[in-house]
Amino acid sequence: MSTRATRRGKKTTLDGVLETEGSTVTSTRETTPVGGDGPIANRTRRGSAASTTLSDLIGSPSRRAASEPPSDVPVRHSLAGSRASTRQSSVTPSISSRGGSVEPGLDEDEELEEEEEATELVDADINSITTTFEFMGPHGTALAVLGVPVVTLALQLLCDPVKGCPSSNFYESPLAYFTDRISHATFFKLEAVAAIFGWMIFQALLYGYLPGTYIQGVPLPTGERLTYKINAFGCMIATYIAAYAVFSVKGLGPFLWVADNTLPLAVAATIYAIIQSVLLYVLSHRIPPHGQILLAKGGNSGYPIYDFWMGRELNPRLWGWFDLKYFCELRPGLVGWSVLNVCLACRQWVNLGGTLTPGMVMVVLFEGYYVIDAQWNEPAILTTMDITTDGFGFMLTFGDLVWVPFNYSLQALYLSRNPESLSSAAVAGICLLQLFGIYIFRSANSEKNLFRTNPDDPAVQHLEYIQTKRGSRLLVSGWWGLARHINYFGDWLMSLSWCLTTGCSSPIPYFYCIYFAILLIHREIRDEHKCRNKYGEDWEEYCRRVKWRIVPYIW
């Protein structure tokens, strides 16, 4: 197996396995979790069980592998001789396709600080046991694993193409409504399975074969940095060129087929997501001959269902370069969402005899802009907790590949069948809300990115900040002086403006902004927890200076 040198004298094999100098790390650490979900006992780092019952899956951790050393005997890495080479082989400046050098979210101080942190972690243990539960522990995640596909399919069923979204008999008897819809709906179509698998392969080929630039991510707990290919924007353009080619040859037919088959497509995408996440979970237990797989801090509890949801492996890669989590986060699902919107607009166009409502135009443009913004700012994804912290489990796999394209396109699905008319004042109000949201979202995110990558830039030089003992700086003026997650506020305002395009006749398209408020509040709590642990009293000082969490003067 080929290898490439990394920092600290370690090597990483091209399938992402970590090797230390001369030894495989086999330490374990056993602790008791907080949060009232019961003790985590008899768990191992590898946490695999020879046979597993359903109650094992949900309620109890995996059994200890016989060959594991006792929990109180941590095996330490030897770093002797590796630190000097680490400094020398410091990070190659990364090149951005849109000019300038990009180190996602890191200044030099931070880099050193991250290196110190990495040293501590490597000295102690790389794959420590997860001791704090999120999502209400194994029971909560079991519910989530079943719940998120059910919610997604229920939302598709609620939008009846003929009778409305939802039809009036839903309010009379929801149970009878669903029984009727389930017995009449077509859930499974082979063509839909072929379309989803074909789409994944097409996006993977674009990722692999279209040219791009390469940048390094933030340091892993081992100190190593992975290299990522930046070409999402080009892949999206190529996708739309391909779609235009299909249109030139086949007309609107294929696009209308997609619009009319969102339910079987969502089922097919769910099948794909289940297969991928089961494979990821199973393969995260592989024991390579030399070294170990780097696991996510939050996905290694030993409870199979919990780890399946959270994701065990931090950076699953194929052939050393094809980063599955990074690929799924921005490409098939997000671009799929915008393509789905276009297909649904085609359906409305045909239904209305060659015209589109202002609501549909706004949805396609606003949500399309959001997708383009994400692709254009691709390097920024490398500092999000999804990439740096979370493992790649069912939560992100299903979230990226099913939840985003099918639930985020509910406004367009609704409008394709219910072309609501909006007054000019409503259109103007929605546009202003969207612009206000974009303004906050983009300027806050860009301000932080610029400040973290180039603090001497005139646009951010004047901003006040707290110099933390950890080395990094926390902004306390500008956007980040208004609220600790002001970017979430901008993002949510945009989500509200998208939902408002559907008028007031149905609650279904409002699912997005309601769910999104819950996601952002939960995410803010997770991030707050992370930062409090990381920065200690500096974070307390930051909270004293910036009082509001997301919405200034409200929350």
Ligand X SMILES: NC(=O)C1=CN([C@@H]2O[C@H](COP(=O)(O)OP(=O)(O)OC[C@H]3O[C@@H](n4cnc5c(N)ncnc54)[C@H](OP(=O)(O)O)[C@@H]3O)[C@@H](O)[C@H]2O)C=CC1
Ligand Y SMILES: CC(C)=CCC[C@@H](C)[C@H]1CC=C2C3=C(CC[C@@]21C)[C@@]1(C)CC[C@H](O)C(C)(C)[C@@H]1CC3
Site string for ligand Y, 12-51 (x = CB under 6 A): ----------------------------------------
Q: Which is nearer to ligand Y, 77 or 331 (CB)?
A: 331
Give the C-alpha separation, 121 to 221, whole Å: 6
398 binds ligand Y (CB under 6 A): yes
DSSP state of 507: S
Residues 422-481 that bind ligand Y (CB under 6 A): none
Residue nearest to ligand Y (CB): 399
98: which 2 tokens? 């849109």
Return the one option of ligand Y, ligand X, none that residue 395 interacts with (CB less than 5 to 8 A, by type).
ligand Y
Residues 143-162 that bind ligand Y (CB under 6 A): 148
DSSP state of 132: B
What is the binding site for ligand X (CB under 6 A)?
A: 105, 384-385, 441, 445, 448, 472, 474-475, 480, 484-485, 487-488, 491, 519, 523, 527, 530-531, 534
- At residue 467, φ and ψ (nearest 5 deg) are -85, 110
Distances (CA, A) of 173 to 165, 176, 179, 414: 15, 5, 10, 21
196: which 2 tokens? 């989803």
Whether residue 366 contacts residue 498, with contact meaning beta carbons closer than 8 Å, is answered with yes
- By CB atoms closer than 10 A (0-12, 13-18, 19+), residue 163 is middle
Q: Which is nearer to ligand X, 177 or 327 (CB)?
A: 327
Complete DSSP assignment for 312-369: SBSS-EETTTEEHHHHHHHTHHHHHHHHHHHHHHHHHHHHTTS---HHHHHHHHHHHH
Return the one option of ligand X, ligand Y, none that residue 480 interacts with (CB less than 5 to 8 A, by type).
ligand X
Q: Which residues touch 53 (CB under 8 Å, ≥6 apart)?
A: none
The neighbouring-strand residues paired with 365 are none
Stretch that binds ligand Y, among 187-195, 379-387, 460-468, 530-538 (CB under 6 A): 379-387
What is the CA angle 174-176-179, rounded to 5?
Answer: 110
What is the CA angle 40-41-46, rounded to 5?
Answer: 85
Return the one option of ligand Y, ligand X, none that residue 148 interacts with (CB less than 5 to 8 A, by type).
ligand Y
Minimum distance from CB of 200 to ligand Y (Å)? 16
Minimum distance from CB of 308 to ligand Y (Å)? 13
Q: Which is nearer to ligand Y, 371 or 430 (CB)?
A: 371
Q: Which residues touch 487 (CB under 8 Å, ≥6 apart)?
A: 440, 441, 444, 445, 448, 479
395 binds ligand Y (CB under 6 A): yes
Give the C-alpha separation, 555 to 548, whole Å: 6
384 binds ligand Y (CB under 6 A): yes
Minimum distance from CB of 329 to ligand Y (Å)? 5
386 binds ligand Y (CB under 6 A): yes
Q: Which is nearer to ligand X, 290 or 442 (CB)?
A: 442
Minimum distance from CB of 387 to ligand Y (Å)? 9
Q: Which is nearer to ligand Y, 217 or 291 (CB)?
A: 217
329 binds ligand Y (CB under 6 A): yes
Q: Which residues touch 191 (CB under 8 Å, ≥6 apart)?
A: 261, 264
Minimum distance from CB of 479 to ligand X (Å)? 9
Neighbours of 396 (CB within 10 A): 24
334 binds ligand Y (CB under 6 A): yes
In the complex, the residues that contact ligand Y under the rule CB under 6 A are 148, 329-330, 334, 373-374, 381, 384, 386, 395, 398-400, 403-404
